[in-house]
Amino acid sequence: MTEGEKTEVNYFEESRRHFRLPTASIRICPADGSNPLQVVRYASDLCQQTREWERVFAVIDRDDHAHYNEALRLAVQLDGAHRNDERNPIAFKAISSNPCFELWLLLHFQRSDAHIHRDDVMRRLRAHINGYEKGRPGVFAATLDALDVAYANADRLRA
């Protein structure tokens, strides 16, 4: 589940095809001007309606959202709170991008050890992916070879 209508959807669809995950389902939170709390609540509502999933990931950006921390707390509460058709608890996780999803893309090319504004993320990302714009298709393929670098940089940043 994501609030992004193009960037995240394109990236996840491309990765789903690459890794041959035909049962993975990517949904966009339909709220106009959605915020992280809306994404988490929408994902929770869909869990109750569909009851077919084993895991749900709510991909949310920090940006300047006022309800960001509340969304993280709610996601923790929802982990295992819903049951699927097989009566198994559904794992529910918030996947947080702070400040934005593009930071994940930037980590494929360089380390980031301190807070960075989303405008700076975009500027630096464009230095690595010529002509990068939000929603551009083909970004997964453009970053795939550096996936291990991104994992290592994300681990350092998290620590």
Q: pLDDT class for 125, splitting at 50, 70, 90? A: very high
Give which of 4, 7, 85 is closest to 51, Cα–Cα. 85
pLDDT, residue 32, reads: 62
Say which residue the tokens 């700076």 belong to: 120
**What pTM does this model have?**
0.87
pLDDT, residue 108, reads: 97
| 111-119 average pLDDT score | 89
Provide the residue type at 13 as one letter. Answer: E
Give per-residue pLDDT as tens, 18-71: 999 988 888 887 766 678 999 999 999 999 998 999 999 999 988 878 899 999
Distance CA 17, CA 139 (A): 13
pLDDT, residue 33, reads: 62
Tokens of 38: 């809306």
pLDDT, residue 24, reads: 86
Give per-residue pLDDT as tens, 63-109: 878 899 999 999 999 999 999 999 999 999 999 888 999 999 999 99
Q: Kindly report the CA angle at 124 between 118 and 130, in degrees rounded to 5?
A: 120
Say which residue the tokens 């097989």 belong to: 86
Give which of 41, 46, 53 is closest to 85, Cα–Cα. 53
Tokens of 87: 């009566």
Identify the burial level of 8 via C-beta atoms within 10 angstroms of its C-beta, where 0-12 means exposed, 13-18 middle and 19 or more buried. buried
Coil, strand or helix at 29: coil
